[in-house]
Structure 1
Amino acid sequence: MKAICWHGHGDVRYESAPDPKIEDPRDAIIRVTRTAICGSDLHLLDGYMPTMKSGDVLGHEFMGEVMEIGSGVTRLKKGDRVIVPFNIACGECFFCQKTLFSLCDRSNRNAEAAAKMMGYSPSGLFGYSHMLGGFSGGQAEYVRVPYADVGPLKIPDGLTEDQVLFLTDIFPTGYMAAENCQMEKGDTVAVWGCGPVGQFAIQSAWMFGAGRVIAIDHVPERLALAKSWGKAETIDFTKQDVYETLKEMTQGRGPDRCIDSVGAEAHGTGSLDAVIDKAKAAVKLATDRPHALRQAIYCCRKGGTISVPGVYVGFLDKVPMGSFVNKGLTMKTGQTHTHRYTRPLLEKIQAGAIDPTRLITHRARLADAPALYKKFRDKEDGCIKVVMTP
């Protein structure tokens, strides 16, 4: 089959890869009909995620048609059209029973490696390093899906693939980010980062009763979408001081809830801490650039909440814990428990409460992915979300 394979920092290629096979009775083989490039894939492109190996198949946002099932799979049949959550869950362990699916105890077959870095292992992920299972991803013609009787959700007739593809990751991720804010009706919510997850966080904040949403970015197309689709007020951090502007917009109090949708590769154009972060990361003295998180902690009102859907890889430098503790803030984080949200969010799409296709700016063939990775990373040509067809 053809797939998008990782070969080092800045090097992804469209090439031949081994066809997947049934390895366990609970497996299914999916023919991929839609796949996407996610913002967290850029951490792989930019070399921030350890334990990647040359030839690894990328991609964790995908859907398709069931082609083959193992003998233990009872919920699916050949020909079913399904979306597949980006994280892999057994459905039976302590954490899955608590619907904490991204913390599944069984799905990461390299759990010991993850535990050495994190203390305990999260779930396995598609196309996201050997520390997280070494599973081939969905930027491919075919993919093996473990625990296929748990994760995949059958899509009813009448919905297009573009409408439902983002149920695999970014819609649930933005929704859980808003949920983790623990907001009260009428709260002011500030969202750092207007990429795909940030856009869904904005949409979801309204669903949870926000009174105002303020979006922070510097890319004109992303700010424009946050304003037009998201009905958000906007701050361009290259033109306005974020802290002073938020303080003025909230009568001196600060936003009630802050969402860091940026994660490990924050730009923070012109700020001293961002310049230091970039220099340290370049010489391997730091694993992440947490400018957005620092700023969210500093800007949040006393007693407020910080929600972090943005991906962080390792160890953070100069996080203002004094501010965090003395202001009495709460932080909620985590990879998304995607399985918990796919069905209720599908129902919102069916009801017309949201149109996820508004996010798509580029449609292409899988073969075009290497060029589009770079275009997405460099924010060229108004690129916000890429959807590809193998």
Structure 2
Amino acid sequence: MKALCWHGKSDVRVDTVSDPEILDPRDIIIRITATGICGSDLHLYDGVTPTMEAGDIIGHEPMGIVVETGRDVRKFKKGDRVVVPFVIACGSCYFCEKTLFSCCDTTNPGADLAKAAMGQAPAGLFGYSGMMGRYPGGQAEYLRVPHADVGPIKIESDLSDEKVLFLSDIFPTGYMAAENAGIEPGDTVAIWGCGPVGQFAIQCSWMLGAGRVIAIDRVPERLEMARVHGKAEILNFDNDPIHERLMEMTGGRGPDRCIDAVGAEAHGAGSLDAVIDRAKQAVGLTMDRPHALRQAIMACRKAGTLSIPGVYIGLLDKVPFGAIVGKGLTVKSGQTHVQRYLAPLLNKIEAGEIDPSFVVTHRIPLEHAPAAYEKFRDKTDGCIKVVIKPGMDGSDLTPAADTLRDETESIGLQAGLSRDGGMPPVLA
């Protein structure tokens, strides 16, 4: 089969590899019909995630059709259409019984590597390094899915792939981020990062009762998506002094809940701490650039909550922990317990409460994935979310950002989607 394989920093290639096989009677094999490129995949692409090896198959947002089942599989049969969560969980260990699926004790063959870095090992993940189990990922034509009766969810309706695909990761991740934030009715929620996870964190903050959502980014088309689809107030950190603006917008109190949907590679727009982060990262003195996290800690109101769905890799430098203690902040983070959210969030999609496909800007065949990674990393061509469709005809490619642009123009919003066009006024 063909699969997208990691070969080093900024080097991913479509290789021909062995087809997956049933290795355990609880496995299924699926033929991939759609799979996403996730923001956390960029940590692999940028070479900041340790324990990767050349030839590793990457990707952790897959769905497809069951083509083979192990003899002990009870939930699925050939021909079933399924979405596969990125977390691999056994369903029966101490943590799985508490629905803490991303902390599963039994599914990570790279446990020793993970323990050296973290103290204990979390669950295995698809396509995400040796310390997370070195499971072949889903940016491929086929995928072996272990513990099938615990992981995937069957799609029995005729909803399109793009409406349900993001149950694999970013929709549940955005929901758990909002849930971890402890949102109370009427709260002001500030969200750093308007990539796909940030977009879903915006949507889910409204679902959980937020009275106001403020979205922070620098990329015009991502801010526009947050404004048009997320109904969020927007701040562009290239133009706005974020801390000062947040204080102004909240009467000096600060946002009640802050969500860091950026993670390890924050830009920082030339701020001194961001410059130092980049310099240290360049010479191997740090893996992470936590500018957004520092900013969220400082802005969050006293006794507020900080939720961190953004992925961090290692030790963070100059994090103002004194502010966390001094202000009495609650901090919650972690990989998403995806299995916990699959059924209730699918119900929301089926009920028409949300159409997750709004984030998709690019649809490509597998062969175009290396170029798409570069676009996604560099945030060019209006690239916000890429869906890979193995077997797709390249002539069917979706022009970049056409969907968002058409929707924007249709409701009379003339804000530019290009970097040269400027941004609409910040809503207050």
Indicate the TM-score class for this superposition, using the shorter chain for normalisation. Answer: over 0.9
Give distance in 2, aligned partners of 1:84 and 1:333.
22
Quote the residue 2:135 is aligned against: 135
Q: 1:16 matched to which residue of 2?
A: 16
How far, CA to CA, are the matches of 2:330 and 2:163 in structure 1?
34
How many angstroms apart in 1 are the aligned matches of 2:113 and 2:236?
A: 40
CA distance in 2, matches of 1:78, 1:193: 40
Partner of 2:400: none
Deviations 1:164-204, CA, capped at 9 Å, x for gaps: 00000000000000000111100000000000000000000
Question: Partner of 2:384 in structure 1?
Answer: 384
Amino acid at match of 1:335: Q
Alpha-carbon distance in structure 2 between the residues aligned to 1:17 and 1:325:
50
Q: 1:110-162, CA deviations, whole angstroms, 9 ceiling, x for partnerless residues?
A: 21111111000000000000111010000000011000111010001221111
- Following superposition, the deviation at residue 72 of structure 1 comes to 1.1
Q: Which residue of 2 aligns with 1:194?
A: 194
Look up the match of 2:45.
Answer: 45
**Matching residue's letter, 2:35:** T
Q: Distance in 2 between matches of 1:73 and 1:106?
A: 18
Q: Distance in 1 between matches of 2:343 and 2:267?
A: 35
Query: What is the count of residue pairs matched by the alignment?
Result: 390
In structure 2, the partner of 1:167 is: 167
Aligned to 1:281: 281
Question: Who is 1:331 aligned against?
Answer: 331
Residue identity matched to 1:278: R
Between the aligned partners of 1:156 and 1:28, the Cα distance in structure 2 is 18
Question: What is the DSSP-based 3-state SS (H/G/I as helix, E as strand, rest coil) of the residue aligned with 1:7?
Answer: strand
Structure-1 separation of matches of 2:137 and 2:270: 36
Is 1:242 matched with 2:242?
yes
> Which amino acid in the other structure matches residue 141 of structure 2?
E
1:21-73 CA deviation, whole Å, 9 max, x = no partner? 11111111111000110000000000011110000001000100001111111
Which 5+ residue runs of structure 2 have no aligned equivalent? Answer: 391-428
Q: Which residue of 1 aligns with 2:157?
A: 157
Q: What is the one-letter code of the residue matched to 1:204? A: C
Cα displacement (A) at 1:312:
0.4
- Give the Cα separation in 2 of the matches to 1:335 and 1:269: 27
What is the TM-score normalised by the length of structure 1?
A: 1.00
- Residue 190 of structure 2 corresponds to residue 185 of structure 1: no
Q: 1:319 — aligned with what? A: 319
| CA distance in 1: counterparts of 2:317 and 2:17, whole angstroms | 38
Give distance in 1, aligned partners of 2:346 and 2:149: 18
Counterpart CA distance in 2 for 1:224 and 1:110 is: 40
CA–CA distance in 2 between the matches of 1:347 and 1:328?
Answer: 36
Question: What's 1:106 paired with?
Answer: 106
- 2: CA distance, partners of 1:149 / 1:163: 22
Aligned partner of 1:371 in structure 2 is: 371
The 5-angstrom pairing of residues 257-268 of structure 1 reads: 257-268=257-268
> 1:54 corresponds to which residue?
54
Q: Distance in 1 between matches of 2:111 and 2:257?
A: 33
Distance in 2 (CA, whole Å) between partners of 1:143 and 1:130 is: 18
The amino acid across from 2:123 in the alignment is S
CA distance in 1, matches of 2:171, 2:367: 25
**For 1:113 and 1:361, how far apart are their aligned partners in 2?**
36
Query: Deviation per CA, 1:215-270, whole angstroms, max 9, x where unpaired?
Result: 00000000000000000000000101000000000001000000000000000111
Separation of aligned partners in 1, 2:112 and 2:377: 32
Q: Distance in 2 between matches of 1:189 and 1:157?
A: 34
Structure 2 distance, partners of 1:212, 1:27, is 44
Which amino acid letter does the alignment assign opposite residue 267 of structure 1?
A: H
* Alignment-derived partner of residue 79 in structure 1: 79
Are 1:227 and 2:227 an aligned pair? yes
Where 2:132 maps in the other structure, the secondary structure is coil
Task: Give distance in 2, aligned partners of 1:305 and 1:197.
Answer: 18
AA aligned to 1:119 is G
- 1:381 & 1:114 partners in 2: Cα distance? 36
Counterpart of 2:196, as a letter, is: P
**What is the distance in 2 between the residues matched to 1:44 and 1:113?**
17
Task: String of CA shifts for 1:257-289, please: whole Å, max 9, x gaps.
Answer: 000000000001110000000110010000100
**1:134 counterpart letter in structure 2:** R
Q: TM-score, normalised by structure 2?
A: 0.91
1:18: Cα distance to partner?
Answer: 1.4
- 2:359 partner letter: L
Gaps of 5+ in 1: none
| Alignment-derived partner of residue 402 in structure 2 | none
Give the 3-state SS of the residue equivalent to 2:130 in structure 1: coil
Query: Using the alignment, how far apart are the partners of 1:33 and 1:237 within structure 2?
Result: 37
**Whole-Å separation in 2 of the counterparts to 1:357 and 1:71:** 35
Could you tell me which residue of structure 2 aligns to residue 4 of structure 1?
Answer: 4
Structure 1 segments (4+ residues) deviating >2 Å: none
Pairing 1:270–2:259 present? no
Which secondary structure state, in structure 1, belongs to the residue aligned with residue 293 of structure 2?
helix
How far, CA to CA, are the matches of 2:201 and 2:342 in structure 1?
A: 15
Give the whole-Å Cα distance in 2 for the aligned partners of 1:340 and 1:109.
23
Question: Match for residue 426 of structure 2?
Answer: none
> Who is 2:29 aligned against?
29
- 1:218 is matched with 218
Which stretch of structure 1 is more off in the superposition, 110-119 or 58-67?
Answer: 110-119
Cα separation, 2, equivalents of 1:5 and 1:293: 31
| Greater Cα shift, 172-181 or 155-164 | 155-164
